[in-house]
């Protein structure tokens, strides 16, 4: 069975640009979460979506947004990129959402570099 | 509010010796606790999880962790380190949200 897949694997953008990252969950998983991992730190929670609705949001500015599609795949969008947005963006899927105790399975991540 | 503290940013052991990675947590609820491992250029892999069942949790690759409520700890151990265990390890607490510790880098010397 395929695990969580993310695209692209690497991305280089310049300040002020917009970026869209994509994630496909494990088949049968209805919940998708997004995390930002800055070099040398642990992942930080950005969003969780379940059944196409936002179920949780971390402490990130409104420049960050996401959505989930009917097939449970998800997009993370970041507007007006800043240098500090350079990070590894991780997507995780799980069967259920409430509480956030279900095992999350992580994709390999998208490494975003903002110049 | 929840938080998780990994007490060591870097642990170095010799191959064949025991591994201890320390984690303390705080939570307003009865949390679930996880350990994940991240090898270079690879995704996060679940080692084990605690969800209010047995306090001693066995995971993959010979790792185990003990939940101690009185000490608010969830330390990860392994009796004998292998070279392949060298990686970054994250302790995670989950109640309302999933919060990762800063990570402990494990180095295994031959």
CATH for A76: 2.60.40.10
Reported confidence tier of residue B81, pLDDT bands at 50, 70, 90: very high
Closest CA to B100 of A100, A27, A17, A10: A100
CB contact, 8 Å: A90 with chain B? yes
B17-26, B67-76, B88-97: segment of lowest average pLDDT: B88-97
Cross-chain residue pair A33–B98, CB shorter than 8 Å: yes
* Residue A112 contacts residue A13 (beta carbons within 8 Å): yes
Cross-chain residue pair A43–B34, CB shorter than 8 Å: no
Residue B49 counted as domain residue: yes
Q: Is the pLDDT of residue B75 over 70?
A: yes
Q: Is the pLDDT of residue A53 over 70?
A: yes
pLDDT averaged over every residue in chain B: 92
Q: In the prediction, which pLDDT does A26 show?
A: 94
* Residue A104 contacts residue A44 (beta carbons within 8 Å): no
How many domains does chain A divide into? 1
Q: Is the pLDDT of residue B31 over 60?
A: yes
Q: Is the pLDDT of residue B68 over 60?
A: yes
Facing A101 at nearest CB: one of B43, B44, B51: B51
Q: Which domain holds residue A26?
A: 5-114
Task: Identify which has the larger pLDDT, A2 or B44.
Answer: B44
Alpha-carbon span B53 to B99, nearest angstrom:
21
Alpha-carbon span B44 to B58, nearest angstrom:
18
- Percent of chain A scored above 90 by pLDDT? 77
Reported confidence tier of residue B18, pLDDT bands at 50, 70, 90: very high
Q: Which domain holds residue B45?
A: 1-7+26-55+66-79+90-99
Instruction: Pick the residue from chain B with its C-alpha nearest to A89.
Output: B43
How many domains does chain B divide into? 1
């Amino acid at each position: 069975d395929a695990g969580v897949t993310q695209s692209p694997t690497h991305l280089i953008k310049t300040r002020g640009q917009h970026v869209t990252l994509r994630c496909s969950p494990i088949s049968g998983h209805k919940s998708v979460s997004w995390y930002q991992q800055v070099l040398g730190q642990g992942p930080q929670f950005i969003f969780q979506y379940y059944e196409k609705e936002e179920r949780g949001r971390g402490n990130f500015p409104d420049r960050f947004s996401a959505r989930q599609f009917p097939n449970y795949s998800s997009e993370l969008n970041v507007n007006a990129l800043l240098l500090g947005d350079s990070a590894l963006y991780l997507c995780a899927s799980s069967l259920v959402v409430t509480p956030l105790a279900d095992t999350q399975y992580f994709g390999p991540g998208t490494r975003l570099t903002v110049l | 509010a929840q938080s998780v503290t990994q007490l060591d940013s870097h642990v170095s052991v010799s191959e064949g010796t025991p591994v201890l990675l320390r984690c303390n947590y705080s939570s307003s609820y009865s949390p679930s606790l996880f350990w994940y491992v991240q090898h270079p250029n690879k995704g996060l892999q679940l080692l084990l999880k605690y969800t209010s069942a047995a306090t001693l949790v066995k995971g993959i690759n010979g790792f185990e962790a003990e939940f101690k409520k009185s000490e608010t700890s969830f330390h990860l151990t392994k009796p004998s380190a292998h070279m392949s265990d060298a990686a970054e390890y994250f302790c995670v607490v989950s109640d309302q949200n999933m919060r990762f510790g800063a990570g402990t880098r494990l180095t295994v010397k031959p």
